[in-house]
Amino acid sequence: MGSNIQKVVAVAAVVAAMGAGLGTGYAIWGWPTNWYAGHNVATLPPGPDTDLIRYGEQLVAATARHIGKSAIDPAKRYAGNDLACTHCHINSGLKPFGIPLVSTFATFPMMVDEQIMSLAERINGCMTRSMNGKPLPEDGREMEAMVAYLQFIGRRTPQGVRVAGMGLPPLRKPARAPDPAQGETAYASHCAKCHKDQGQGEPLMAPAVGYEIPPLWGNDSFNAAAGMSRIEIAAAFIHANMPIGASYREPILTVQQAWDVAAFMTSKPRPALRQVPAK
């Protein structure tokens, strides 16, 4: 397969493609294409390329086992917690409006704050914020595998376009200011069964490593610089995906409840952003 990182960085005319892609993204919103189906890594033929893709899928689905703070190989403990990518990128990045990953490969590199960001840099942004850890080596097998998986699940998506269902659906403003106290009440009714009273989540049964249900605050949660620590992102995610069984078409919480729960959750303590030494 060669270096996927080099493939990403070497995309020609990326700025022009992104400019055109923004308008095109709205034009293809109604295309009758299910971008989220047909990505079963088990059906791939044997070979080194498939091995890399399958490893990448495992890094997303069982992150803690491979690169978490309790990873089996101590040399690969890059994350500072035992969360998994799939806790935020639901169904290993394959749920519409569950912060999916299907067109991620096709939309990088992209302009961020007037600078070109590579896919590897974006992945490492998650490693240092949501995973509260340190960057993966850009030339290492773990980075290659993650990029290979993202390329696999995005292999049919148009270049430079965020396809329908990417990100989170827009959430209208609440009727009143988000209230952490009201959020605590809604949390107790709808969230505590899985995430527990103190937001500690539910660990996997030993000897497995990681969480079945992720902690929402505390030392083993995402840090204060993660996107999910922002109330507007947390509220949109909660409304479209939580509790289990909810979807953007059939939410379980009201808009106000989602904002209130997000206010409650984001008011809780969590790790600060680690200072990663410069290269």
Same domain, 46 and 130: yes
Q: Based on the structure, what is the number of domains in the chain? A: 2
Domain presence at residue 141: yes
> How confident is the model over 197-242, as pLDDT tens digits?
999 999 999 999 999 999 999 999 999 999 999 999 999 999 999 9
Same domain, 122 and 234: no
Same domain, 66 and 126: yes
Same domain, 93 and 130: yes
* DSSP-based helix, strand, coil % in the chain, nearest 5: 45, 5, 55
Same domain, 17 and 99: yes
Same domain, 141 and 37: yes
Domain boundary among 153, 188, 208: 153
Each of the 279 residues of the chain gets a pLDDT tens digit; together they read 444 444 333 333 333 333 333 333 333 444 568 899 999 999 999 999 999 999 999 999 999 999 999 999 999 999 999 999 999 999 999 999 999 999 999 999 988 888 899 999 999 999 999 999 999 999 999 999 999 999 999 998 999 888 999 999 999 999 999 999 999 999 999 999 999 999 999 999 999 999 999 999 999 999 999 999 999 999 999 999 999 999 999 999 999 999 999 999 999 999 999 876 555
Q: What domain range includes position 30?
A: 4-153
Cβ atoms within 10 Å, residue 49: 14
Domain presence at residue 95: yes
pTM over 0.95: no
> How confident is the model over 78-104, as pLDDT tens digits?
999 999 999 999 999 999 999 999 999
The kind and range of the H/E element at 192 are: helix 192-195
Write the CATH number for 25: 1.10.760.10
Domain boundary among 136, 153, 170: 153
For 257-260, the CB contacts below 8 A with 24+ separation are 257/182, 257/183, 257/186, 257/190, 258/171, 259/171, 259/174, 259/178, 259/183, 259/231, 259/235, 260/174, 260/178, 260/179, 260/180, 260/182, 260/183, 260/186
Domain presence at residue 74: yes
Same domain, 137 and 225: no
